[in-house]
Amino acid sequence: MHFAPVLKPCGMGVNLFWYLAGGAFVSVVLMLLLFSVYRLSFSTSGFLAGVPLLLALVYVF
């Protein structure tokens, strides 16, 4: 018995959802590291942490 995937936003497949989830996870971890360990400003950390999420969004859409 096959079940339909629960998470299928915007008609994207489940594998593409995991690319987005992975990009978001990497962004959050990178932001925490840049802000707390490397003592960069919050805006700089947020800008640099947005790059993996942006790359994931470009790949998916």
Supply the mean pLDDT for the chain.
85
> Which pLDDT score, from 0 to 100, does residue 49 have?
96
Its pTM stands at 0.74
Give the pLDDT band of residue 24 (cuts 50, 70, 90).
Answer: very high
Number of domains in the chain: 1
Tell me the mean pLDDT in the region 7-33.
83
Give a yes or no: residue 28 inside a domain: yes
Cα–Cα distances in angstroms (integers) from residue 55 to residues 24, 48, 61, in the given order: 10, 12, 10
Give a yes or no: residue 16 inside a domain: no
Give a yes or no: residue 12 inside a domain: no
> Which pLDDT score, from 0 to 100, does residue 51 have?
96
- The 10 Å CB-count burial string (b at 16+, else e) for 37-47 is eeebeeeebee
User: Tens of pLDDT along 27-54?
Assistant: 999 999 999 999 999 999 999 999 999 9
